[in-house]
Amino acid sequence: MTVELPVSADHGIPLHDFLDFEFVSPEAGSTTAEVRMPVRPEALGLTGNLHGGAIATLVDLACALAAAKFSGFDPERESLVTADMHVRYVGRPRTDGVVAKAEVRRSGRQLIVIGCDIVDDDGHLVALADFSMMLVPLRDPLPGQDRQVRGDRPVATDDAGGAG
């Protein structure tokens, strides 16, 4: 079973570009998201296995996409931040790609709980993850700071233009 996802060009996050993530942005209100990562030498650890940090980064993006689309996340009003992540590594990929399949399990006013299975392109289980995110209102800039936008994310800056 080969999973084919359109390549998302510039993700705006250099690590995602380096790991060559591919995904289709879910529709608004969707409870699921999928992100594919090729298994390449740059993503391997010292033992030649897929690095756990690469898998965790894949989980983070898939779960964030599911949470953002389900919750109606508005980056002008709030931040969506990772509150908790637990990844269980249970196997190794047998193909040249892995897919993180995230699904919103429960959502409250602020906390969103997501489950995520990571499988290879043939469907063999590589990892399982429990994940939660929080919707947090954007803070007002500190005195002497202005809010500017970096990419599509507001950031507070000091009067000299440095990130605060």
pLDDT of residue 103: 98
Kindly state the average pLDDT of the residues 103-113.
95
All structural domains of the chain with their residue ranges: 14-138+145-157
Mind spelling out the 3-state secondary structure of 9-52? CCCCCHHHHHCCCEECCCCCCCCEEEEEEECCHHHECCCCCECH
pLDDT of residue 158: 43
Which tens digit of pLDDT belongs to each residue from 64-103?
999 999 999 988 899 999 999 999 999 999 999 999 999 9
CA dihedral for 53, 86, 101, 123, sign (positive or negative): positive
Q: pTM for the whole thing?
A: 0.79
CA dihedral for 52, 58, 64, 66, sign (positive or negative): negative
- Domain with residues 14-138+145-157, CATH architecture: Roll (3.10)
Which tens digit of pLDDT belongs to each residue from 117-162?
999 999 999 999 999 999 999 988 788 777 654 445 555 444 444 4
- Residue 148 bridge partners (DSSP): 155
Amino acid in the structure at residue 89: Y
